[in-house]
């Protein structure tokens, strides 16, 4: 095998006329010779025209090397051979002598190539090449044409030539004059299609050509149809990826199945375009048609709807009309028939059993089928994690991670006869505390899961931190689930339960939770005892039912009353928790909890801080389509007439008549968890976080709100204080909003906004 070294030798040192005689005469067939006879004059004509002198041998070598491809041979001879020779010679002449060369001359040594180079490489092993092999060392470029080594078997050449001839014959009538050198070049190179050159390599090549052919402008042989119209609208990607929360919200029913369906739609969407929001969806037109037909009860309306759809100018975004409903009155009429609803956030230390407990709750309330659990069990067992089967109901996280989507807040629903529940499964890891704050700030209450066997680890870790944060975002009601009592020693040991309860209650009290708003429930998510069902009277857990309700009963007890008519009538305020593609038919959707007011399909709303308006195209609450929604609901709103870049988590959707103000200065009453100075902080308000600084320490206060000291230099941990904050950016905030101040990954204060200014 030949070895090539990239050494810049001068060509005349490597080639000689004798050395070029590597194509033995006997290696050519009669056809090869005919080809040479036909093609050499063509190449020569091209080279003469370009003023490139070449020998017949060089032309033949090039033709042989390029499988009779005249174009390539000419290009090779033009570009690589003659000009380089000229250039290098010129270079050689101009080249100034290096210090090394001057020193060599001074030393009056023997001539340059014979001695200096030899000296330089003396002792290098590969220089000990027998003299008869020296001619084999060739530079990498140009590659000397070699018979057979390049695949130039006469069979291949024959095949190529036959094809060329056939193709040339077929093209004969349309062929221009042979005197036209350019066209003759074309003609001659035509059969040298790459295919022929790669034919001996049977692997990946055919695929490549199939793809290329698809893109070929050649019209299809039968009934050519115009390609589908490209989407006109070019929308950039959203800042926020569709999260588990978003997907769960937009699922039509159930939890896990809905999530899957959503994931599939995302995938379908991404295969259509590089941006999830790029272009109008063809389904939009169909859906709008159905909706328009439903809404219309007269011929005139139907005709109008059809007119709208047939207008090509706006096929994907027909105007969404409001039905002009009096939502507050409708809600008031319906409220007696409405079930209570409650959203709870699940908090607690890693591995204390949060997901398993929620999976159990969903299974035992019928929100998830036993079939699904069995499926998860099978999958989990295959991975050697059989005990995680229930947790997998909640654990959309791993699936999300596999798909490269950021895990955020997962949402699941279940219902009892009296209450519709929403589980907000906030990420527990300390790195995701901002997301946990966002999740907790949408909840009515919290479920704190504590492993009865691992209280210590929790107290040192997230149990303590999550309690602090739950209180900081304003949650007042909290259920402590003392979990894994099936695995205490002995199982269902009352003493262990009591001591764990006492510890946690102490911490909750210190944090500010009141006794009447806290309940402690013994349970086991894995076995299901005292989750949705009371333990059997014969079991070791029989004592539980005598003293405690089940977890589900306790959640129903803590479920809040329905929102008030006053809140429903207030201006709309919804902080965006997530922005996502709700599906092919709904390319732009948001989710979040309505803090106040109401909204209906067709409403125009304002998004702050961008100040942009959007139209509500559709509403879903708990996976069901609705015409309207009110405060305390956690709807998905499908939007039109807005660009996605104007929608971010933390922005506020508000009434266009009374939009929320965008402010940069706030005064807040806070509880310090660490020392506070005038300093940089991150301000978190639900899903919103903005950098800023404490500009003034106004005063410290006692528990009754009386001023202790004005303009303190420092606020110590545990003290209450009024502080002023200057934010780096204008953000939509209002009096009464709950804020959390963090710095360097730690929460240093929490409180409530007292006043705002621009």
Ligand X SMILES: Nc1nc2c(ncn2[C@@H]2O[C@H](COP(=O)(O)OP(=O)(O)OP(=O)(O)O)[C@@H](O)[C@H]2O)c(=O)[nH]1
Regarding 381 and contact with ligand X (CB under 6 A), the answer is: no
Among 256, 356, 396, 575, binds ligand X (CB under 6 A): 356
Closest residue to ligand X using C-beta atoms: 353
Binding segment (CB under 6 A) for ligand X, from list 15-23, 304-312, 350-358, 435-443: 350-358
Is 676:749 a contact under the CB 8 Å cutoff? Answer: yes
CB of 141 to ligand X, least distance (A): 59
Among 354, 595, 617, 687, binds ligand X (CB under 6 A): 354
Q: Which is nearer to ligand X, 448 or 673 (CB)?
A: 448
Among 288, 341, 355, 747, binds ligand X (CB under 6 A): 355
How far apart are alpha carbons 320 and 604 in whole angstroms? 10
Regarding 458 and contact with ligand X (CB under 6 A), the answer is: no
CB of 403 to ligand X, least distance (A): 18
Residue 173 DSSP one-character state: G
Q: Which is nearer to ligand X, 256 or 563 (CB)?
A: 256
Q: Which is nearer to ligand X, 444 or 486 (CB)?
A: 486
CB of 497 to ligand X, least distance (A): 13
Regarding 254 and contact with ligand X (CB under 6 A), the answer is: no
Measuring CA to CA, which residue among 574, 558, 345, 340 is closest to residue 443? 345
Helices (H), 273-420: 282-295, 299-310, 327-334, 354-364, 370-382, 391-394, 396-402
List Cα–Cα distances, 725 to 379, 579, 587, 697, in angstroms. 51, 28, 37, 9
How far apart are alpha carbons 437 and 748 in whole angstroms? 14
Number of CB atoms found within 10 A of residue 15's CB: 16
Measuring CA to CA, which residue among 491, 488, 490, 422 is closest to residue 452? 488
Is 348:440 a contact under the CB 8 Å cutoff? Answer: no
CB of 507 to ligand X, least distance (A): 18
Among 20, 351, 503, 674, binds ligand X (CB under 6 A): 351
705: left (phi over 0), alpha (psi -120 to 50) or beta: left
Those residues with Cβ within 8 angstroms of residue 506's Cβ, 6 or more apart along the chain or in another chain: none
Among 258, 280, 353, 659, binds ligand X (CB under 6 A): 353
CB of 487 to ligand X, least distance (A): 4
Among 32, 486, 578, 633, binds ligand X (CB under 6 A): 486
Those residues with Cβ within 8 angstroms of residue 364's Cβ, 6 or more apart along the chain or in another chain: 528, 531, 532, 533, 552
Among 52, 285, 340, 350, binds ligand X (CB under 6 A): 350
How far apart are alpha carbons 279 and 275 in whole angstroms? 9
CB of 441 to ligand X, least distance (A): 20
Q: Which is nearer to ligand X, 481 or 690 (CB)?
A: 481
Binding segment (CB under 6 A) for ligand X, from list 71-79, 191-199, 484-492, 725-733: 484-492
Using alpha carbons only, give the angle 539, 543, 547 rounded to the nearest 5 degrees. 145
Residue matched to tokens 């590659």: 143
Binding segment (CB under 6 A) for ligand X, from list 143-151, 165-173, 386-394, 596-604: 386-394
Q: Which is nearer to ligand X, 393 or 642 (CB)?
A: 393
Q: Which is nearer to ligand X, 352 or 689 (CB)?
A: 352
Q: Which is nearer to ligand X, 484 or 548 (CB)?
A: 484
- Backbone dihedral angles phi then psi of residue 695, each to the nearest 5 degrees: -90, -35
Size of the site for ligand X (CB under 6 A): 18
Half-sphere exposure of residue 612: CA atoms within 13 angstroms, side-chain side: 14
Among 261, 487, 585, 656, binds ligand X (CB under 6 A): 487
CB of 478 to ligand X, least distance (A): 17
Among 28, 344, 388, 421, binds ligand X (CB under 6 A): 388
Regarding 387 and contact with ligand X (CB under 6 A), the answer is: yes
How far apart are alpha carbons 718 and 102 in whole angstroms? 82
Binding segment (CB under 6 A) for ligand X, from list 74-82, 89-97, 479-487, 624-632: 479-487
Bond preceding residue 414 cis, omega within 30 of 0:
no
Regarding 608 and contact with ligand X (CB under 6 A), the answer is: no
Regarding 522 and contact with ligand X (CB under 6 A), the answer is: no
Residue matched to tokens 């997301």: 435
Those residues with Cβ within 8 angstroms of residue 527's Cβ, 6 or more apart along the chain or in another chain: 486
CB of 435 to ligand X, least distance (A): 13
Number of CB atoms found within 10 A of residue 52's CB: 17
What would the DSSP string read from start to end of 627-650?
SEEETT--EEEEEESS-GGG--TT
Regarding 535 and contact with ligand X (CB under 6 A), the answer is: no
Q: Which is nearer to ligand X, 73 or 524 (CB)?
A: 524
Is 247:580 a contact under the CB 8 Å cutoff? Answer: yes
Among 249, 342, 345, 526, binds ligand X (CB under 6 A): 526
How far apart are alpha carbons 29 and 158 in whole angstroms? 9
Helix (H) or strand (E) holding 671, with range, is strand 662-672
Give just the sign of the alpha carbon dihedral 290, 296, 298, 300.
Answer: negative
How far apart are alpha carbons 658 and 324 in whole angstroms? 18
Q: Report the side by side order of strands in the sheet with 477-483.
A: 410-415, 419-425, 340-348, 445-451, 477-483, 518-522
CB of 576 to ligand X, least distance (A): 26
Among 65, 466, 484, 573, binds ligand X (CB under 6 A): 484
Sequence length of the chain is 758
CB of 490 to ligand X, least distance (A): 14
CB of 357 to ligand X, least distance (A): 6
CB of 217 to ligand X, least distance (A): 55
Q: Which is nearer to ligand X, 318 or 427 (CB)?
A: 427
Q: Which is nearer to ligand X, 246 or 359 (CB)?
A: 359
Those residues with Cβ within 8 angstroms of residue 152's Cβ, 6 or more apart along the chain or in another chain: 64, 65, 67, 145, 146
- Backbone dihedral angles phi then psi of residue 606, each to the nearest 5 degrees: -110, 140
Binding segment (CB under 6 A) for ligand X, from list 126-134, 344-352, 577-585, 626-634: 344-352
Q: Which is nearer to ligand X, 252 or 387 (CB)?
A: 387
Q: Which is nearer to ligand X, 36 or 245 (CB)?
A: 245
Regarding 398 and contact with ligand X (CB under 6 A), the answer is: no
Bond preceding residue 711 cis, omega within 30 of 0:
no
CB of 740 to ligand X, least distance (A): 21
How far apart are alpha carbons 174 and 316 in whole angstroms? 47
Q: Which is nearer to ligand X, 323 or 385 (CB)?
A: 385
Regarding 73 and contact with ligand X (CB under 6 A), the answer is: no
Regarding 505 and contact with ligand X (CB under 6 A), the answer is: no
Site string for ligand X, 404-443 (x = CB under 6 A): ------------------------x---------------
CB of 428 to ligand X, least distance (A): 4
Q: Which is nearer to ligand X, 51 or 384 (CB)?
A: 384
Is 76:143 a contact under the CB 8 Å cutoff? Answer: no
Regarding 352 and contact with ligand X (CB under 6 A), the answer is: yes
Among 458, 525, 582, 686, binds ligand X (CB under 6 A): 525
Regarding 369 and contact with ligand X (CB under 6 A), the answer is: no
Bond preceding residue 142 cis, omega within 30 of 0:
yes
Q: Which is nearer to ligand X, 355 or 586 (CB)?
A: 355
Question: What SS3 state is found at 465?
Answer: helix
Instruction: Write out the residues near ligand X by the rule CB under 6 A.
Output: 350-356, 387-388, 391, 428, 483-484, 486-487, 524-526
């Amino acid at each position: 095998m030949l070895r090539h070294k990239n050494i810049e030798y001068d060509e005349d040192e490597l080639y000689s006329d004798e050395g070029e005689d590597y194509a033995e005469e006997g290696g050519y067939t009669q056809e090869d010779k005919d080809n040479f006879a036909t093609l050499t004059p063509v190449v020569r004509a091209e080279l003469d025209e370009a003023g490139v002198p070449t020998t017949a041998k060089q032309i033949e070598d090039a033709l042989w090397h390029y499988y009779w491809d005249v174009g390539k041979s000419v290009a090779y001879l033009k570009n690589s051979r003659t000009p380089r020779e000229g250039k290098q010679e010129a270079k050689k002449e101009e080249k100034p002598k290096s210090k090394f060369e001057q020193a060599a001359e001074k030393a009056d040594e023997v001539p340059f190539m014979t001695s200096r180079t030899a000296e330089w490489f003396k002792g290098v092993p590969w220089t000990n090449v027998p003299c008869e092999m020296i001619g084999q060392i060739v530079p990498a470029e140009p590659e000397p044409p070699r018979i057979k080594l390049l695949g130039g078997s006469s069979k291949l050449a024959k095949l190529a030539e036959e094809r060329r001839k056939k193709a040339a014959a077929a093209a004969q009538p349309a062929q221009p004059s042979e005197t036209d050198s350019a066209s003759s070049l074309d003609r001659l190179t035509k059969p040298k299609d790459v295919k022929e050159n790669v034919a001996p390599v049977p692997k990946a090549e055919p695929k490549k050509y199939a793809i290329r052919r698809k893109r070929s402008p050649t019209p299809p042989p039968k009934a050519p149809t115009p390609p589908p119209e490209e989407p006109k609208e070019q929308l950039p990607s959203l800042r926020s990826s569709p999260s588990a929360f978003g997907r769960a919200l937009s699922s039509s029913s159930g939890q896990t199945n809905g999530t899957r369906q959503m994931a599939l739609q995302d995938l379908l969407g991404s295969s259509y375009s590089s941006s999830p929001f790029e272009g109008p969806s063809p389904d939009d037109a169909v859906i709008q048609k159905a909706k328009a037909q439903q809404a219309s009860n007269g011929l005139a309306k139907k005709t109008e709807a059809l007119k709208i759809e047939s207008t090509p100018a706006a096929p994907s975004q027909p105007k969404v009309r409001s039905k002009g409903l009096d939502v507050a009155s409708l809600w008031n009429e319906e409220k007696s028939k409405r079930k209570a609803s409650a959203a709870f956030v699940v908090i607690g230390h890693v591995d204390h059993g949060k997901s398993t407990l929620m999976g159990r709750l969903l299974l035992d309330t019928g929100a998830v089928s036993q079939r699904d659990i069995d499926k998860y069990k099978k999958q989990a067992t295959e991975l050697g994690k059989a005990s995680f089967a229930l947790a997998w109901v909640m654990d959309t996280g791993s699936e999300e991670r596999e798909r490269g989507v950021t895990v955020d807040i997962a949402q699941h629903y279940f219902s009892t006869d009296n209450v519709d529940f929403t589980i907000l499964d906030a990420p527990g890891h300390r790195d995701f505390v901002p997301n946990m704050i966002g999740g907790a700030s949408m909840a009515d209450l919290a479920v704190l899961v504590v492993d009865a066997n691992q209280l210590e680890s929790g107290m040192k870790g997230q149990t303590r931190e999550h309690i602090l944060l739950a209180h900081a975002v304003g949650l007042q009601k909290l259920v402590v689930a003392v979990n894994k009592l099936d695995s205490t020693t002995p199982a269902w040991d009352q003493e262990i339960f009591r001591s764990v309860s006492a510890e946690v209650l102490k911490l909750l009290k210190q944090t500010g939770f009141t006794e009447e708003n806290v309940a402690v429930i013994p349970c086991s998510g894995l076995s299901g005892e005292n989750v949705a069902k009371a333990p059997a009277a014969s079991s070791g857990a029989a004592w539980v039912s005598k003293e405690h309700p089940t977890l589900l009963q306790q959640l129903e007890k803590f479920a809040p009353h329905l929102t008030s008519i006053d809140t429903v009538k207030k201006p709309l305020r919804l902080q965006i928790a997530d922005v996502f593609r709700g599906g092919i038919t709904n390319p732009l959707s948001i989710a979040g909890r309505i803090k106040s007011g109401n909204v209906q399909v067709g409403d125009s709303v304002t998004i702050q801080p961008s100040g942009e308006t959007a139209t509500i195209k559709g509403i879903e609450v708990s996976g069901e389509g609705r015409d309207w929604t009110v405060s305390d609901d956690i709807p998905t709103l499908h939007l039109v007439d807005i660009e996605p870049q104007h929608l971010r988590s933390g922005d506020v959707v508000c009434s266009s008549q009374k939009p929320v103000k965008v402010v940069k200065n706030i005064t807040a009453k806070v509880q310090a968890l660490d020392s506070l100075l005038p300093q940089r902080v991150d301000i978190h308000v639900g899903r919103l976080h903005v950098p800023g600084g404490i500009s003034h320490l106004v005063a410290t206060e006692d528990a009754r709100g009386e001023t202790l000291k004005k303009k303190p230099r420092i606020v110590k941990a545990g003290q209450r204080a009024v502080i002023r904050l200057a934010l780096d950016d204008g953000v939509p905030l209002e009096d009464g909003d709950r804020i959390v101040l963090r710095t360097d990954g730690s929460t240093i204060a929490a409180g409530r906004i007292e006043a705002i200014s621009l």
